[in-house]
Amino acid sequence: MVALTPISRTEPSFYVSVVAAFGAFFGIFIGAGQGSIPLGVIAGAILMAIAAFALVKFGNEKTGRWALFVVMAIAGYFIAGIPGVVVGGFFGWFFGFMTFWLSEGRYRAKIPPYLTPMQVLWHFAFRVICGAIFVFLITPILVVMPLSFNAENFFTFTPEMLRFDPEGYSLKHYRDFFTNDDWQNALWNSVKIAPVATLLSVSFGTLAAIGLSQPHVPFRRAIMAILISPMIVPLIISAAGMYFFYSRIGLQGTYVGVVLAHAALGIPFVIITVTATLVGFDRSLTRAAANMGANPVTTFFRVQMPLILPGVISGGLFAFITSFDEVVVVLFVGSAGQKTLPWQMFTGLREQISPTILAVATILVAISICLLTVVEILRRRSERLRGMSPG
């Protein structure tokens, strides 16, 4: 047996400088909360550099990490109370882990040993950039959700909420949503429009994807570009074009007009997902069904549809989300009788600031998460059916 050589410790200048850089970055947020960003950056860099150097010199990883966790949680309490304890404890855990992860060279344990220092730097820098983008995108959602439980009619965190006082939290905005006639009418309109628009999107989009997947169809690329153009063209342009077109044929301000407009927006999603599913489809199955006497309709429903069904359902879910969350087109094409839930939210922000909007937004986020989870499950099932991933 060949003994594995342990990973050697890195130079103090390396891990201290990296931890200090992260401390300066997080110090931006602490400084912004205290009214002085430069002070937060400088203090974060210096304190984390000292902490990293002291932890490694101390030697015992477990004890050192717990000590940093407790110290930063206490410091957070004096700065921001109970929320500061949570944030400070998280920072203590994160910097304690990072310090020993860097100082002991464990960061190179799962990457190829032949990578140069610059390649190792880019390997982790790329992941840090992706993580920062994810945090930037997800932070507004994380802020909205707790605010929807605010006991006051404010769009900001009250002192009671920051202290985690139960008196600062309430479900009254959710009760207002489920009891207010304006919100319920808007919800009912969305429920009436989105499923029908999704059904049309799935029907036309699936047929279009199957037809465009045939190699003998002329001008396939041009037709595909036209069909998916609603995803590329700015929504305000599409909405204005639909308004002028529908007003000439008498569909502007009607239920049918809104459904057709939303169906046009959802068709590109269905085409893309079904086309991706058809890439791995074995066309010899349809030829075999035809040789055995099955007509095209029977072949489609008995042979082709079961195999492309995950892509069809995924496209339908995307089309449903697009219709349920869309507001620009319905403002142009719809009327007061087709006021959907996003339209009511937009009106509430413009005319009357109501925290009920936060409760509705939280509900929509929960629905979107559930639908996207279903999409991911269907995507994996589709890959298994096509043999692209292990069962």
When pLDDT is cut at 50, 70 and 90, the band that residue 388 belongs to is low
Q: What is the pTM of this model?
A: 0.71
Cα-to-chain-centroid distance, residue 123: 23
**Pair 213, 277: CB distance under 8 Å:** no
Nearest Cα to Cα of residue 51 among 29, 28, 75, 80: 75
What is the arithmetic mean of pLDDT over 362-377? Answer: 84
pLDDT: is 291 or 280 the higher one? Answer: 291
Q: What is the CA radius of gyration of the chain?
A: 28
The rounded mean pLDDT for the chain is 83
> What is the pLDDT, as a whole number, of residue 3?
42
> What is the pLDDT, as a whole number, of residue 6?
45
In tens, the pLDDT along 214-238 reads 878 888 888 888 888 888 888 899 8
Domains present along the chain, CATH in parentheses: 12-110 (no CATH), 180-385 (1.10.3720.10)
Q: How far apart are CA 287 and CA 352, in angstroms?
A: 61
Nearest Cα to Cα of residue 239 among 358, 330, 372: 330
* Residue appearing with tokens 């808007």: 186
